[in-house]
């Protein structure tokens, strides 16, 4: 067994030590030992709603002990009358770690928001963390740990009569597309509608105008023929049925709903992520730099047919308007390369499938469409996750 020359001491406060984890979004500072030695890192991250602090040594340093305090105000930190931390009264601690068969080079401690009477950590814009450690090493490689240094996670000088440092951990919400949230919101909308869970949609064909989408549409949630969502760029994804202008009843289903193919008869439901990629990355009037005319409504419509229905009609067919097959192939190629599993950002667009039905539950009455709605049109389509963030 390797031996340590450092004195043994008794463990004080209750430990809350989590398994070592790797964080996707973590904020790291150096573990400063002896005031000027980089002995490792102290990283913070929000994991399962808790603020987790991970100590890790580098080189031949290992841990002999650590003490940790986290809170919202340094005034709440256990301290003496000079403002220096009272490490023995810190709530999270572990000692006598060195000298075992295996060096201790990492420890993770997680602090719940309830311990600070918070609902979640992002109720604060910044957390205060004092991460103390004692690190040791075998300087002359004789098998005995003979060098010891006190260290802190790098941060602001706490003042007082020690060189203790305090970390400032910024907290924020990271927002992302929430497919299940969108499904739930659409279900809630449908549950309160006059016609057995269907919305009403108004469809107007744009006459194959190169500068317009195939259709413009509006969606009416309450049956008064005044659309809550209006002027939506709308594309056909079904060549097996037809549709004219006017008002229809329709099922409104997220293109990310796992059952959208069964619910709306979509032929290539597996390509709806690619369709969303196209709608978010290309717009009418874009110059693709390939020597072809700018992207037209017909280009996007034919791309939708090819991806979602599985057919690529000739340019202008079905009154789709002017179109370049070169442009269509370029968009399809980009979608195939980069669109697998694509999800829009919170300021992006989401394809909502509109499946026209009779104003009772029986039968399709027109071709299926996808409306190019904004994610922000649906409150639940974007959700925030509390995380540590870099300033």
Domain borders along the chain are: 3-175, 178-383
Amino acid 362: pLDDT: 57
d(CA 367, CA 257) in angstroms, rounded, equals 19
Region of residue 40 (left: phi > 0; alpha: psi -120 to 50; beta: else): left
How confident is the model at residue 47, as a pLDDT? 95
Q: Are residues 6 and 145 in contact, defined by beta-carbon separation less than 8 angstroms?
A: yes
pLDDT means per 10 residues, the chain with 391 residues, are: 37 28 68 97 96 96 97 95 94 92 94 95 96 93 89 94 95 94 92 80 90 95 91 94 89 94 92 97 98 97 97 94 97 98 96 86 73 92 90 54
Give yes or no for a contact between 301 and 205, defined as CB atoms under 8 angstroms apart: no
* Residue 115 vs residues 92, 118, 340: alpha-carbon distances, Å: 12, 7, 42
E-strand ranges in 81-120 read 92-94, 106-111
Whole-prediction pTM: 0.76
Q: Which pLDDT score, from 0 to 100, does residue 360 have?
A: 62
Residues 6+ apart with CB under 8 A from 237: 266, 275, 304, 305, 308, 309, 353, 367, 368, 369, 370
Report helix angle 325-338 to 272-281, nearest 10.
120
pLDDT, residue 348, reads: 96
Residue 142: per-residue pLDDT = 82
Query: CB neighbours of 377 closer than 8 A, spacing ≥ 6?
Result: 229
DSSP helix, strand, coil percent of the chain (3-state; round to 5) = 20, 35, 45
Q: What is the per-residue pLDDT for 8?
A: 30
């Amino acid at each position: 067994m390797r031996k340590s020359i450092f004195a043994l001491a008794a463990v004080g406060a209750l430990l809350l030590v989590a398994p070592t984890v790797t964080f996707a979004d973590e904020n790291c500072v150096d573990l400063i030992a002896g005031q000027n030695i980089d002995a490792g890192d102290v990283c913070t991250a929000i994991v399962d709603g808790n603020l987790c602090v991970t100590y890790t040594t580098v080189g031949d340093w290992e841990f002999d002990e650590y003490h940790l305090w986290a809170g919202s105000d340094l005034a709440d930190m256990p301290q003496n009358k000079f403002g220096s931390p009272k490490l023995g009264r810190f709530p999270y601690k572990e000692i006598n770690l060195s000298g075992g068969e295996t060096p201790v080079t990492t420890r993770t401690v997680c602090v719940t928001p309830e311990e600070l009477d918070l609902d979640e950590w992002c109720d604060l814009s910044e957390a205060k963390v004092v991460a103390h450690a004692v690190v040791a090493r075998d300087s002359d490689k004789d098998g005995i740990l003979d060098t010891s240094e006190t260290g802190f996670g790098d941060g602001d000088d706490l003042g007082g009569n020690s060189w203790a440092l305090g970390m400032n951990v910024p907290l924020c919400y990271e927002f992302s597309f929430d497919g299940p949230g969108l499904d739930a919101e659409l279900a809630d909308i449908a549950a309160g509608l006059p016609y057995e869970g269907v919305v009403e949609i108004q469809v107007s064909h744009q006459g194959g105008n190169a500068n317009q989408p195939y259709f413009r549409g509006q969606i009416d949630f309450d049956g008064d023929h005044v659309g809550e969502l209006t002027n939506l760029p709308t594309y056909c994804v079904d060549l097996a049925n037809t549709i004219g202008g006017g008002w229809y009843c329709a099922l409104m289903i997220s293109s990310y709903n796992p059952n959208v193919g069964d619910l709306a008869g979509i032929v290539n439901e597996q390509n709806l992520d690619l369709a969303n990629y196209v709608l978010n990355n290309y717009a009418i009037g874009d110059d693709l730099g390939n020597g072809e005319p700018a992207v037209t409504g017909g280009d996007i419509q034919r791309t939708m047919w090819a991806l979602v229905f599985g057919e690529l009609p000739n340019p202008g067919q079905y009154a789709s308007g002017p179109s370049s097959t070169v442009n269509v192939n370029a968009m399809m190629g980009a979608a195939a390369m980069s669109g697998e599993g694509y999800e829009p950002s919170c300021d992006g667009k989401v394809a909502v499938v509109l499946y026209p039905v009779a104003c009772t539950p029986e039968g399709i009455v027109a071709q299926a469409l996808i409306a190019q709605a904004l994610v922000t049109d649906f409150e639940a389509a974007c959700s925030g996750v509390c995380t540590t963030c870099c300033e």
